[in-house]
Copies of this chain bind each other. A is one copy, B any other.
Amino acid sequence: MTSRAPGKRVRKAPAERRNEIVATAARIGLTEGLECVTLRRVADELGVQPGLVGHYFPAADELVAEAFTHATMAELDGLLPPEPDGPLRTFRRFFGLTSSADFDDVSKLWLNARHLSRYRPVLRDHVVKQELLWCRRLEELITAGTAAGVFACADPWGAATRILVAIDGASAYINTSADQRRTPTADMPRTVAESELGLRRGMFLTD
């Protein structure tokens, strides 16, 4: 936590302070879980009073929701950069990243958010938006690849959806029996994708 002499105040422009709060909340949510995104916890991290965070987010639900969106938005841009350098290369990169251990926190975050959405309507709206956004980005990539003649896919949206099912399914055990399941499931997202896009097995292999 950023500590500061008690009583000392640092006054910032509202927009800057708000961004700071959301970024901090996103980091907490990603590394420790969205349940840890509380007014107090975020305030501690920033070295301010809880009341200040409450001032920017009169309803704590909104902060949690924005934290989630902030984190997943950044992650998506890392996975599927807006302007890709070739569908094949982008897909290889995508599977390389999603199957790496660095992706574990992201898997946990999605699991976290999808469950918490059961109780928190505001978060739910954000999660639905992100789910559809991730799917759409993947769809665009597939459509581009198909137009370029690299892939053969009659239903890009369906293919994107099913590839994500494989990824989300394989990462569902991240907090539990992931270790015991890695071997039979590690290749599944990649092979589902290759099958959906009419490619030979191994075409998306990085090595």
Contact = CB atoms under 8 A, between A and B. Distances in A.
Interface stretch (A13-21, A57-65, A95-103, A158-166): A158-166
A169 interface: yes
Given A33-B118, A118-B112, A175 B132 contact: no
Contact of A162 (B117, B174, B185): B185
A158 B185 CA distance: 8
Contact of A118 (B108, B168, B181): B108
Given A118-B33, A165-B188, A169-B168, A176 B131 contact: yes
Contacts of A35: 119
A172 B161 contact: no
B165 A132 contact: no
Given A115-B112, A184-B155, A184-B157, A169 B165 contact: yes
Contacts of A162: 184-185, 188
Nearest to A169: B169
A-B CB proximity, top 10 nearest: A169-B169, A165-B169, A158-B184, A161-B184, A115-B115, A118-B175, A117-B175, A168-B172, A131-B177, A128-B177
